[in-house]
Structure 1
């Protein structure tokens, strides 16, 4: 669920928070060039759309108009409507009990990222009502979690906020926990369909990459055992968690 801004110049659909259009010119002599709109939300000719999924999981985009407040109001209307239509889980199990159950699973304890899972669940416990019943969880509560979490200071990067990627991973974990609980018979059904979870935009664009000279200097400054890992990462683009699971 979210708000989209349509650029009046190139027609590209941007995230509702975007200031700069990320689209490409579609026609004319500049076709294929990046759109040069830099003050997207100030343009009177812009159009807002809302995006959500129906109760059967179908993605729907609805054009609202040039006013962002109207788009926010309409999106909230649809969220409330979806919450009302969603089948409620008939269970007295609390979120805290489900978290404890998941952390106690042998397969969870064996995971390499177990400590990270514990940290993510700690954040989920803190911002959700952990003593509340699973059946009481709503899409609105998920939206509030995202809003609150992204305003918190990062414990790892001084002066920065919690990264959207971290929040997205925390919600993905919550979704996985519910799915696992259903598989094991701890819950009769998931409280919220996966298609109703908030969509979080993650910018994975790298500002720059190592030059060949910098890469060689890095290799020269590292021990031989680490050089093989660096070469593997540079040559394949594998992620850190993928590399550390390899047998060398």
Structure 2
């Protein structure tokens, strides 16, 4: 992977990590289109640079993120389902990551759901993440686990999960942002451990690429979060639903035409 390719993937990550469009789906397809999808380091890279993106949450919501120990316990409760299922289904998840058709279908199904999300939850009214109960946090965490299917979107799953618990679009999105911190930190740590365990020590060049990728993802994500919250409050999810459908259809068209998309 070249520096330019690393930057492209980092921009994709920064733009899509907090949008309900699947950052992982976009990155594995982006790496496939650039012809680097089969490289072992790329498999690590597309997970590890998500750490840079989620650190933007800590910066933007610094005061609110460090608000109380009780809030941390709620995030921990929401995080537990991903830990348990991530360990139990690790091999299956890796297999799903290699399936471009699965990514396309997940994008399409999620897109259709987002078209109706605003109507289904138009009466959601809890506007503060402080009011989330432990049971609600657990349920949101269970919704987040749907994102283990590549193309689903961790952000979409957890935001919709929050809205099923009576949160407003803004509150659900913000809780999703906060939940991303332990979730993606854990995913990055596990991926790094697996990388070393499988006998792939990082080279100096790869460490440099990871550093560049995390910085780029961090900067782009800051802009994306601010824009997303404003757009979501005014317009809702419909535009994201149509976007997912269009991307899913394009991927299906490529695959059905006989062309191969070799993803990670």
TM-score, with length taken from structure 1: 0.30
Instruction: With a CA cutoff of 8 Å and minimum separation of 6, indicate the structure with the bigger relative contact order.
Output: 2
Task: Select the structure that is richer in strand.
Answer: 1
TM-score, with length taken from structure 2: 0.29
Larger radius of gyration: 1
Task: Select the structure that is richer in helix.
Answer: 2
